C-alpha cells in the first residue's frame, strides 16, 4: 500500500467514524422519546422520527426481526399483548427504510396460533408486509448467554440470524418482577424450561437483556395493564395512556415504563442489576428525554 493511499484511507475513515450514528446520537438525538396522541400510528411514527428516523436504525437490505409481546390469547383491548397497529406501523417503516425482510415472531404461552390471531398482530403485521412466523422447536439452538445466572440456554435461531432486532414490548404489571416491559420481553425469544426462570426472575431478565441487543426498543403504552398482570382479562384491568416510549437504551426505556405504575426505577431489582451490569441508564434524570403530543 502506498503512503498516499494510506493517508487517504485514514482521512475517509476518520470522517466516517465522526459521522457514525452512535456518536451522532450523543450530539443530536434524545435517548428516549415519549409521544402521546390519539393515533397509534402517528405517535409511533413521530417517536421514531424524533429518534432520528427509521433510516438511522434500519439499512437497505437488512433482515429485521420484530419481537412484540404476543404471549397471551387476548384481544388488543385487554392490553396483554402489544398493540397491533403499532406493530403494523413499525413493520411498514422498516420496509420503507429498505429492509429486505421483516419477521414478526414471539414464543407464546397459550396456543401460538390463537395468540397470533386474537391479539390482531398476525393480521396487522401481514397486511403491512411482514412475515409472521410461529416459533419452531427445530429452530432452537443452544447458546452460551454468558449471563451471571443463565449460562447455556436454547434461543430461537431467527433472532440470531437477523441483522437488526426491534423490541416491541407491551406495558404491564407482573407479580414477581413487578413490571414486564422491554427487558422481560426476551423470555419470548427463547425455548427451554422457561418456567424455571421465575426462581431468579430479575437475574434472568438481565442475563437475557445482556444477550439480546435490540437496535431499538419501542414500548407500547397505548393501553397499559395495571392489574391482574401479565394477562389481565377485563377492560377494567387496563388504562388508556395513548403513549409510545421509544429509545436505544433498553434500561432507560424500562425505567420510564415503570413510572406508568408509579414505581421508581430504583425500586425494581432488575433495573438495578441491569444498570450495575452496564446495560444502560436507570436514573431518568440523567437521560435525555423528549416528550411530545401529536
Partner 1 sequence: MKRKQSKKYLALQKLRIISQLAFFVLFFILFMKTHYGGADYLTITVERYFHFDPLLALTTTIGARLFFAAFWLSLITLTFTLIFGRAVCGWICPFGAIHQFFSFIFKKTRWLKPKRDDRLSLAPKYIILIIILVASIFAVNLAGYLDPLSFLYRSFAVYITPLLNMAFSQSASLAYGLGLESFGQTLGQTLGNLALNSFFQNALVIGLLFFAVIALNAWKERFWCRYLCPAGALLGLFSRFNLFKLSIDPEKCTNCHLCSIQCQTNARPYPADEWRSSECIYCETCAAICPTAAITFPLRWKPEKIQGVNLSRRKILLTSLTTLLVAPIFKITPHRQRAYPALIRPPGAQPEEKFLNKCIKCGECLKVCPTNGLQPALTEAGPEGIWTPVLVPRIGYCEYYCSLCSQVCPTGAIRELTIEEKTTVKIGTAFVDKNRCLPYAQGRQCLVCEEHCPVSPKAIQTITVETLTPGGQVTTNLAPFVNANDCIGCGICENKCVVADKPAIRVSSIGEQRTKKTGFIL
Residues that bind partner 1 (CB under 8 A): 73, 109-114, 117-118, 133-139, 174-176, 193, 195-196, 198-201, 228, 230-234, 237
* 215 vs 63: CA distance, rounded Å: 12
Q: Which residues pair with 153 in a beta bridge?
A: 143
Q: Is the CB of residue 30 less than 8 Å from the CB of residue 51? A: yes
| Residue 111, CA distances (Å) to 70, 121, 124, 171, 177 in order | 11, 15, 19, 22, 24
CB of 237 to partner 1, least distance (A): 6
Q: Closest distance between partner 1 and the C-beta of residue 186, in Å?
A: 16
Nearer to partner 1, 137 or 285 (CB): 137
**Least CB distance to partner 1 at residue 249 (A):** 27
Nearest CB to partner 1, comparing residues 88 and 118: 118
**Nearest residue (CB) to partner 1, 26 versus 111:** 111
Shortest reach from residue 139's CB to partner 1, in Å = 7
For residue 268, give the nearest of 183, 168, 166 by alpha carbon: 183
Nearer to partner 1, 110 or 266 (CB): 110
Q: Residue 186's closest CA among 145, 220, 247? A: 145
Instruction: Write down the residue that cell numbers 396460533 correspond to.
Output: 113
CB of 78 to partner 1, least distance (A): 9
What cell was used for 177? 418482577
User: How far are the Cα atoms of 30, 180, 263 from residue 260, in angstroms, in the given order?
Assistant: 20, 12, 7
Rounded CA separation 266/140 (Å): 35
Residue 225 Cβ, how far from partner 1 at the closest point, in Å?
10
Distinct helix (H) and strand (E) counts, the chain: 10, 12
- Residue number, 113 or 291, with CB nearest to partner 1: 113
- Cβ closest to partner 1, residue 41 vs residue 163: 163
- The residue written with cell numbers 404476543 in the block is 70
Amino acid at each position: 500500500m502506498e503512503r498516499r493511499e494510506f493517508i487517504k484511507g485514514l482521512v475517509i475513515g476518520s470522517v466516517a467514524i465522526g459521522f457514525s450514528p452512535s456518536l451522532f446520537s450523543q450530539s443530536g438525538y434524545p435517548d428516549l422519546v415519549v409521544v402521546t396522541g390519539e393515533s397509534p400510528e402517528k405517535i409511533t411514527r413521530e417517536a421514531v422520527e424524533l429518534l432520528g428516523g427509521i433510516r438511522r436504525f434500519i439499512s437497505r437490505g437488512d433482515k429485521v426481526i420484530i419481537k412484540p409481546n404476543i404471549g397471551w390469547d387476548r384481544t388488543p383491548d385487554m392490553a396483554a399483548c402489544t398493540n397491533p397497529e403499532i406493530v403494523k406501523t413499525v413493520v411498514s417503516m422498516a420496509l420503507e427504510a429498505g429492509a429486505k425482510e421483516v419477521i414478526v415472531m414471539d414464543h407464546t404461552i397459550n396456543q401460538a396460533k390463537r395468540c397470533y390471531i386474537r391479539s390482531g398482530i398476525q393480521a396487522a403485521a401481514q397486511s403491512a408486509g411482514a412475515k409472521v412466523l410461529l416459533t419452531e422447536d427445530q429452530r432452537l439452538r443452544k447458546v452460551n448467554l454468558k449471563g451471571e445466572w443463565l449460562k447455556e440456554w436454547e434461543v430461537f435461531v431467527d433472532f440470531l440470524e437477523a441483522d437488526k432486532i426491534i423490541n416491541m414490548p407491551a406495558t404491564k404489571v407482573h407479580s414477581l418482577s413487578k413490571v414486564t416491559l422491554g427487558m422481560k420481553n426476551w423470555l419470548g425469544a427463547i425455548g427451554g424450561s422457561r418456567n424455571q426462570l421465575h426462581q431468579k426472575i430479575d437475574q434472568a431478565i438481565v442475563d437475557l437483556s445482556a444477550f439480546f441487543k435490540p437496535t431499538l426498543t419501542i414500548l407500547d403504552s397505548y393501553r397499559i395493564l395495571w392489574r391482574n398482570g401479565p394477562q389481565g382479562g377485563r377492560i377494567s384491568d387496563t388504562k388508556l395512556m395513548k403513549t409510545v416510549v421509544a429509545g436505544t437504551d433498553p434500561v432507560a426505556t424500562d425505567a420510564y415504563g415503570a413510572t406508568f405504575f408509579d414505581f421508581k426505577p430504583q425500586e425494581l431489582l432488575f433495573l438495578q442489576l441491569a444498570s450495575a451490569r452496564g446495560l444502560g441508564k436507570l436514573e431518568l434524570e440523567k437521560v435525555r428525554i423528549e416528550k411530545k403530543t401529536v
